[in-house]
Structure 1
Amino acid sequence: MNGVMTFDDTISAVATAIGEGGIGIVRLSGNRAIDIADQIFRGSTGKKKIADIPSFQAAYGSIADPDSGEAIDEAIVIVMRAPRSYTREDVVEVQCHGGPVPLQRILDITLRLGARLAEPGEYTKRAFLNGRLDLAQAEAVIDVIRSKTDASLKAAVSNLSGRLSDKIRSLRQEILTMIAHLEAAIDFPEDDIEEITAGNVSGSITIVRVELDRLLASAQTGRILREGLATVIIGRPNVGKSSLLNALLREKRAIVTDIPGTTRDIIEEYVNIRGIPLKIVDTAGIRETADIVEKIGVDKAREFVAKADLVLLILDSSAPLTPEDRTVLSLLPGREAIILVNKSDLPPVLDMDEVKSFVGDRPVLKISVLTGAGVDELEQTIADRVYSGQVTSGEAAFVNNVRHMNQIRQAGRHLGDALATIDAGMPLDCIAVDLKAAWEKLGEITGDTVGEDIIDQIFSQFCLGK
């Protein structure tokens, strides 16, 4: 989007989280933001008007109901005039005490004076429509808000700064250059020029496809950094599952006893492992049981294994494999897993050859959740498997969004179709059709060629006030 659009209405919303806090913010944006704020703000000297406050300077005073004159709260007001604001419109932020009552009272008054309650994500949507952010950067805003580790934050900030957008625009420009060469050859045909042009374009298409494949290779890591690695801890009862969760959390979150079946329900926590957010689940011990509640927990454990990105399967080094262990090991086929041989501080009894016959080439680590031995190695193994030799977040453009991944994949298919068209010796205009389709798909990532329905769907996922 280029330039600043003019919206007929002014929007208002509480921009801070629901609940009690030291500070709460009501944000106004639009052509009447300053006028509405002027009607409710009373400067500490009694003379200060919002219209007189320079941009990006704070003024102290109070907020009052303009009809009754009743003071509602002390406040600091900040004015950000268009186009140097988040939305590129006039923006006023009222910072008061962060209680739900004063915030709601102030919001209600702004609505009574002519503002409209902002829709979820509408401030960022206006920033996009007014050209301050492209669509990929706008989507990165919500990733910054939802970041759970430094690594996920770094990846989100990288995309917010435009690193992914710059890469996509560069690839679109390369495709556009190919299209221009094809159209020039179509408009000015000469002997053998079609064959030469098709050959040159074929090499350029291959180069762009390699770059798209590199972006797709980052998608799994990017998704994990954005959403968390769905990890499930499984094993027979009393093998150390809850103790492992506590060791990874560095706190006693799960109850640990010598009584089998202590964990009957599912315990779910986020764990920060070397900057990677693990959405980790401690399940009930898998065994045959007559206890109805425990049986439900066991069934849930099996369901989580089927959905998990990573399975941490625990065995007891100090005991031989039991039928229950073999039942747990039978769940491994088709699953990404790390095998943990716990209680390595005790004399070894477990037959490792039999274990390896079940686990194949999956990593097997000896640990002791009692002493902490092997936990650091486990964390490094998880990090290595997530990054899979790729650069870490912040060092390159990361695809961490399913929508972006789908558009890149579809663009790659269109480029593949273009190569097939060249190999079949078809006319140049047929090649151009495939290239234009790839160019448009990549444009949907940055918002250059996206429809209004997609835009509405994306911003509906944002929180109110952002």
Structure 2
Amino acid sequence: MADTIAAISTAIGEAGIGIVRMSGKESLNIGSKVFKGNKIENLKDGRNRELLYGHIIDKSKDQIIDEVLIVYMKGPYTYTREDMVEIYCHGGIISVKKVLELLLNEGAKLAEPGEFTKRAFLNGRLDLSQAEAVIDIIRSKTDKSFQVSLDQLEGSLSKSIKEIRNILLEMIAHVEVSIDFPDEDIEEVAYEDLENSGRIVMEKIEALLNTAERGKILRYGLNTVILGKPNVGKSSLLNAILRENRAIVTDIPGTTRDIIEEYVNIDGIPLKIIDTAGIRDTEDLVEKIGVDRAKETVEKADLVIVVFDVSRELSEEDYHIIELIQDKKAIILLNKTDLPNKYDEKFLKELVRDKEIITTSMTTGLGIDILEKSIKNMFYSGEVEIFSDTVVTNIRHKNQLEKAYKNIADGLTAIKSYVPLDCIEVDLKNCWENLGEISGDTVGEDILDKIFSEFCIGK
């Protein structure tokens, strides 16, 4: 980490301000080379954390690049725990780009994606789960997903993992003492104590895993597919949920030929809503591709909203759709109830088994509020509040917890069977190490590179 890195930290485009930041031991020197202040001319003459007004100047051309505010922050009390400089330029594409180019010409290195946060992790300011929470905050789509990510940044998950690892560390120490001093009384006490501690570890890991399904929804959104044959009201439903005319609505079947994706917030639940092409046999090549894609999205869906037109009798396409959703979480909408009813609802209930059926009319808005309430009930049992201070939102964290859970389960089985302690020690250490990959204590460089490559440049 000898290099001083620089990057644009704000989104490219028109805005009030744009921020260019540097981190590394040469930040102050490079900043001083390009800045000329109004009252305090040289950045080195300013105080730590003092905001200075002036201009960024390309001294080789004696050219003013932009009018700016600049601040020098001395490590270790910074985001990266290194010396940092932040330059507040006018927003837009040209200004920040020119300032960044000037810093690179003066010796800074262009930061890689997530490199500022990676340095914060490597320098001990954040553990790995906290660092990952940074990108979750940036990508949050609802207030609740933001709050969960913020809690994780503040260390809620880190604290839980640390508590579990400390219990495991005591267990490992107990085992090693018993191995080193193979006194019979000590060994009997060890097995009894290990079983009690192992149960506590298992319960704590299980409690975290139980939050993972809700956490996945909060982080990635509920993958919700709208399915039905052509012209039943799928696009109208999408527009009704979004409260805007996002999809084209006509009386012509097959209008939607490709996948339309939008995010919507329903009382804290982020829905990734996917409007699909109508399911039907067609000779139109483009529409057929859309139908095939629609079927593929159903396989990956967390929830399928199936729309039927009650003004038409059940058709072969309807029966095919019912087959597609038999093993999926699904809500059935009987749409166009403002028209004469030609459906046998009782017969349909037998076909879709235990799936909820809601009567709707996209023309009048009937049933949309019931649908939204049903979605909340299905995934939060009617409560949209988070039930725990710590929620597992990251798939990587969930995978490591599952590995750790298996380790401690195997360890408990061995303890109950009075397996030799050196064999039990292997399971306990594996559990400890798998949990350590969440906090970053035992993580490899390849995993770090993968995690931080998902960050945006400048963060």
- Shorter chain as denominator, the TM-score bin is over 0.9
Separation (CA, whole Å) in 1 of partners of 2:204 and 2:358:
36
Q: Which amino acid aligns with 1:361?
A: D
Separation (CA, whole Å) in 2 of partners of 1:182 and 1:244:
61
User: TM-score with structure 1 length normalisation?
Assistant: 0.94
Following superposition, the deviation at residue 458 of structure 1 comes to 1.1
**Contact 1:274/1:380 (8 A) holds in 2:** no
Following superposition, the deviation at residue 395 of structure 1 comes to 4.1
Following superposition, the deviation at residue 249 of structure 1 comes to 0.2
Structure-2 residue corresponding to 1:206: 199
Following superposition, the deviation at residue 390 of structure 1 comes to 7.9
Deviations 1:6-62 (A, max 9, x none): x322111111112232211110111110111111111123x4321233333321111
Following superposition, the deviation at residue 348 of structure 1 comes to 4.1
Match among 176, 181, 197 for residue 183 of structure 1: 176
Match among 351, 355, 359 for residue 362 of structure 1: 355
SS in 1 for 2:33: helix
C-alpha change, 1:394 and 1:422, in structure 2 (3 Å) is closer
The gaps in structure 2 that reach 5 residues or longer are none
Separation (CA, whole Å) in 1 of partners of 2:54 and 2:186:
74
Separation (CA, whole Å) in 2 of partners of 1:68 and 1:394:
60
Match among 383, 404, 409 for residue 402 of structure 2: 409
Which residues in structure 2 correspond to 1:163-182 (within 5 Å)? 163-182=156-175
Which residues in structure 2 correspond to 1:66-465 (within 5 Å)? 66-346=59-339, 348-388=341-381, 392-393=385-386, 395-465=388-458
SS in 1 for 2:118: helix
SS in 1 for 2:350: helix
C-alpha change, 1:94 and 1:453, in structure 2 (3 Å) is same
User: TM-score with structure 2 length normalisation?
Assistant: 0.95
Separation (CA, whole Å) in 2 of partners of 1:456 and 1:303:
31
**Contact 1:152/1:393 (8 A) holds in 2:** no
Deviations 1:92-115 (A, max 9, x none): 111111222221221111111111
Separation (CA, whole Å) in 2 of partners of 1:342 and 1:420:
54
C-alpha change, 1:186 and 1:204, in structure 2 (3 Å) is same
Deviations 1:49-83 (A, max 9, x none): 21233333321111101222210110011222111
Q: Give the RMSD, CA atoms, in angstroms.
A: 1.8
SS in 2 for 1:264: coil
Structure-1 residue corresponding to 2:47: 54
Following superposition, the deviation at residue 391 of structure 1 comes to 7.3
C-alpha change, 1:35 and 1:335, in structure 2 (3 Å) is same
The gaps in structure 1 that reach 5 residues or longer are 1-6
| Worse overlay, 157-166 or 387-396 | 387-396
Match among 2, 9, 20 for residue 8 of structure 1: 2
Q: Which amino acid aligns with 2:31?
A: A
Separation (CA, whole Å) in 2 of partners of 1:308 and 1:121:
30
Separation (CA, whole Å) in 2 of partners of 1:317 and 1:112:
68
Deviations 1:94-145 (A, max 9, x none): 1111222221221111111111111111100110011110000001101111
SS in 2 for 1:330: helix
Separation (CA, whole Å) in 2 of partners of 1:204 and 1:384:
36
Separation (CA, whole Å) in 2 of partners of 1:187 and 1:386:
51
Following superposition, the deviation at residue 388 of structure 1 comes to 4.9
Instruction: Work out the number of aligned pairs and report it.
Output: 459
SS in 2 for 1:158: helix
**Contact 1:155/1:398 (8 A) holds in 2:** yes
C-alpha change, 1:358 and 1:57, in structure 2 (3 Å) is farther
Q: Which amino acid aligns with 1:9?
A: D
Following superposition, the deviation at residue 332 of structure 1 comes to 1.1
Deviations 1:345-384 (A, max 9, x none): 4454421221122212122222222222221221122123
Q: Find out whether 1:32 has 2:26 as its counterpart.
A: yes
Structure-1 residue corresponding to 2:17: 23
SS in 2 for 1:350: coil
